[in-house]
Amino acid sequence: MSQPGQAPRRFPKIGMRNIKTALAAALCALIYYFLDRSPAFACIGAIFGMGSDLENSKLHGGNRLFGTVIGGLLGVALFWVYLLFYPQGGHTLLLVPLVFIGTVALILLCQIFWVGGVQPGGVVLCIILFSTPVESYVTYALNRIFDTGIGVIMALVVNSVFPGGFTFRFMERFYRLFRKTAEEPANMIEKTEDERDGISN
């Protein structure tokens, strides 16, 4: 509710980025429906990977994808070390120094490979260490990396097709070139007729 003397707050508009984000997530869900596989992480990857334009999508998608890859592989390595001491799993104090070491290593690796991957990588790292069953920690990490990659790719594809994307700009340039080529013969004919009229006069 607006305060007295203030302009009423307008309802947010549904912009192009809104539509592109929703479409990328919906396409992921549709593809995974036919694969009989949960689309949750693919949809999340698509939503995180969508930007205002293609370059922005590469940045956001790279953050999500590289962070997931680094955090996932690091989590698998640390959980393997944990299972050497506790093959049955369970929550023990050994996870405390492991998450400390993992976080330090994650930040260092992200600084080397992809700076923006710390937050999504940290999420995957902590889930593997604290919430993943012993028998499925490797498959969880690989599936998470795969699904995130699909979502990011979908975001890039959708963003490239819509205005502002590479495909859209390419088609726009192609259309302008085609139109210019089509108009040149007509202009030449009109110029020739004008010259001929000038000579006859």
Question: pLDDT digits over 20-47, tens only?
Answer: 999 999 999 999 999 999 999 999 999 9
- Over residues 155-182, the mean pLDDT reads 68
Distance CA 152, CA 43 (A): 9
Q: Which of 55, 51, 32, 59 is nearest to 120 (CA)?
A: 59
Number of domains in the chain: 1
pLDDT of residue 56: 87
In this structure, is residue 192 part of a structural domain?
Answer: no
Percent of the chain clearing pLDDT 70 (strictly above):
78
CB within 8 Å of 132: residues ≥ 6 apart: 79, 140
Domain that holds residue 65: 16-183
In this structure, is residue 140 part of a structural domain?
Answer: yes
Q: Which of 193, 170, 151 is nearest to 26 (CA)?
A: 151
pLDDT per residue over 91-143, tens digit each?
Answer: 789 999 999 999 999 999 999 999 999 999 999 999 999 999 999 999 999 99
pTM: 0.76
In this structure, is residue 2 part of a structural domain?
Answer: no
Run of H or E residues at 21: helix 16-35
pLDDT of residue 16: 85
In this structure, is residue 9 part of a structural domain?
Answer: no
